[in-house]
């Protein structure tokens, strides 16, 4: 590690291979805590690069549970968190809408870190199991088109790093990469990030990780989701090429709402919002989910335009298809519980 730390000390960047090597040592527990702290701190201070992010992610994925999936064109939709909006669980709700539109979703997530309620908290409140073995997660993805991959369950080797993060008490590369570490080899992704200055870098990291299509978004109000509050900033990745653009909700026929209108609550309240959206209740929650789901459907390539993605999202809810995807997961617990 000494040569790599020397590079970072001189504000030089690591290659993908160097980042992968250092990350493997960090995750193996062979790196002393002081060195690990210096490594993570220097990356964060200088600013992470796409190669460094991709190297760290690949090292994490090497240690993850293997999900032997045969389905084609699998995607995830997830945000980094950290935007401070305290919104309801937008991406979790949108995941069922995207799945209802015919896209296979390997929904990777965790309990609350920077918000009041994480995806795992809400789904657990709805009775969805978090600790399924790999073969059952595979079954759900192939039969239902959506499954939840609980991050601590599929990444058991990260416990030591979590302790280090608690000691450091500063943002690190781990605040950025959670949505990238899905153990399923994804073809496409909708990635929300609270740092607008990192849109291009994260799109490049997704390319290095093998995504064929992706959208990286920073929403109005610097949300890590698409927002109805104003102009959203996005980068589309398609076959290695990046296209930056902005999107206002009125451009796709959706109303404007203030950020305060989508504030959520505890797990029970956010679970209720999720159910009301999937049951067709109109209003700000539905419109926010439709925008995000429409972008996800477009990011996947299922729809040739954002507008058509939004139309498919509406049909997914109104036909009951999105609600059926959720119901399948809720009923599955009853089937596997003695």
pLDDT by residue, tens only, the chain of 338 residues: 888 888 888 888 999 999 999 999 999 888 888 898 999 999 999 999 999 999 999 999 999 998 988 778 999 999 998 777 889 999 999 999 999 999 999 999 998 765 568 899 999 999 999 999 999 999 999 999 999 999 999 998 887 787 787 778 888 899 899 999 999 999 999 999 999 999 999 999 999 999 999 999 999 999 999 999 999 999 999 999 999 999 999 999 999 999 999 999 999 999 999 999 999 999 999 999 999 999 999 999 999 999 999 999 999 999 999 999 999 999 996 655 44
Residue 196 backbone phi and psi in degrees, to 5: -65, -30
> For residue 134, which of 162, 106, 100 has the smallest C-alpha distance?
106
Give start-end residues of each CATH 1.20.970.10 domain in the chain: 1-62
279 carries a ligand binding annotation: no
For residues 123 and 129, give the distance between their C-alpha atoms in angstroms, rounded to a whole number.
8
77 carries a ligand binding annotation: no
89 carries a ligand binding annotation: yes
Give start-end residues of each CATH 3.40.1030.10 domain in the chain: 74-154+168-330
CATH number for 74-154+168-330 (one of 3.40.50.10470, 3.90.230.10, 3.40.1030.10, 3.40.50.2300): it is 3.40.1030.10
90 carries a ligand binding annotation: yes
233 carries a ligand binding annotation: no
Across the chain, how many H-helices and E-strands are there?
15, 7
DSSP letter (8 states) at residue 250: G
For residues 191 and 209, give the distance between their C-alpha atoms in angstroms, rounded to a whole number.
13
Contact between 74 and 102 under an 8 Å Cβ cutoff? The reply is no
Residue 327, C-beta contacts closer than 8 angstroms, at least 6 positions apart: none
Residue 47, C-beta contacts closer than 8 angstroms, at least 6 positions apart: none
215 carries a ligand binding annotation: no
Query: What pLDDT was estimated at residue 29?
Result: 83
121 carries a ligand binding annotation: no
41 carries a ligand binding annotation: no
Query: What pLDDT was estimated at residue 230?
Result: 97
What burial class does residue 175 get, using C-beta atoms within 10 Å of its C-beta: 0-12 exposed, 13-18 middle, 19+ buried?
A: middle
Query: What pLDDT was estimated at residue 149?
Result: 96
251 carries a ligand binding annotation: no
276 carries a ligand binding annotation: no
115 carries a ligand binding annotation: yes
pTM score, whole prediction: 0.94
Query: What pLDDT was estimated at residue 284?
Result: 97
111 carries a ligand binding annotation: yes
Strand order in the sheet with 188-192: 146-150, 104-109, 74-79, 188-192, 213-218, 232-238, 241-247
CATH of domain 1-62: 1.20.970.10
């Amino acid at each position: 590690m000494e040569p790599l730390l020397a590079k970072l000390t001189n504000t030089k960047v690591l290659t993908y291979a160097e980042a992968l090597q250092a990350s493997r040592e960090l995750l193996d527990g062979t790196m002393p805590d002081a060195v690990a702290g210096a490594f993570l701190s220097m990356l964060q201070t200088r600013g992470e690069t796409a190669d460094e992010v991709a190297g760290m992610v690949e090292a994490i994925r090497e240690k993850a549970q293997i999900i032997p999936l045969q389905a084609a064109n699998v995607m995830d939709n997830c945000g980094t968190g950290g935007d401070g909006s305290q919104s309801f669980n937008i991406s979790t709700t949108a995941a069922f809408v995207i799945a209802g539109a015919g896209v296979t979703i390997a929904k990777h997530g965790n309990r609350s870190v920077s918000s009041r309620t994480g995806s795992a908290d809400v789904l657990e409140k709805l009775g969805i199991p978090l600790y399924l073995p790999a073969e059952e997660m595979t079954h759900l993805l192939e039969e239902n088109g959506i499954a939840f991959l609980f991050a601590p369950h599929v990444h058991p080797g990260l416990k030591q790093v979590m302790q280090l993060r608690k000691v450091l008490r500063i943002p690190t590369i781990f605040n950025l990469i959670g949505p990238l570490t899905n153990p399923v080899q994804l073809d496409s992704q909708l990635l929300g990030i609270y740092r607008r200055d990192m849109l291009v870098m994260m799109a490049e990291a997704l390319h290095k990780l093998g995504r064929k299509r992706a959208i990286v978004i920073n929403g109005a109000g610097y949300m890590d989701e698409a927002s109805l509050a104003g102009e959203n900033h996005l980068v589309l990745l398609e076959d290695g090429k990046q296209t930056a653009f902005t999107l206002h909700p009125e451009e796709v026929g959706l109303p404007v709402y203030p950020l305060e209108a989508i504030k959520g609550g505890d797990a029970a309240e956010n679970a209720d919002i999720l159910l009301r959206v999937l049951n067709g209740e109109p209003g700000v929650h539905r419109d926010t989910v439709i925008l995000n789901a429409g972008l996800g459907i477009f990011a996947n390539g299922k729809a040739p335009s954002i507008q058509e993605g939004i139309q498919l999202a509406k049909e997914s809810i109104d036909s009951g298809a999105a609600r059926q995807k959720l119901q399948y997961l809720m009923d599955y617990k009853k089937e596997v519980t003695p």
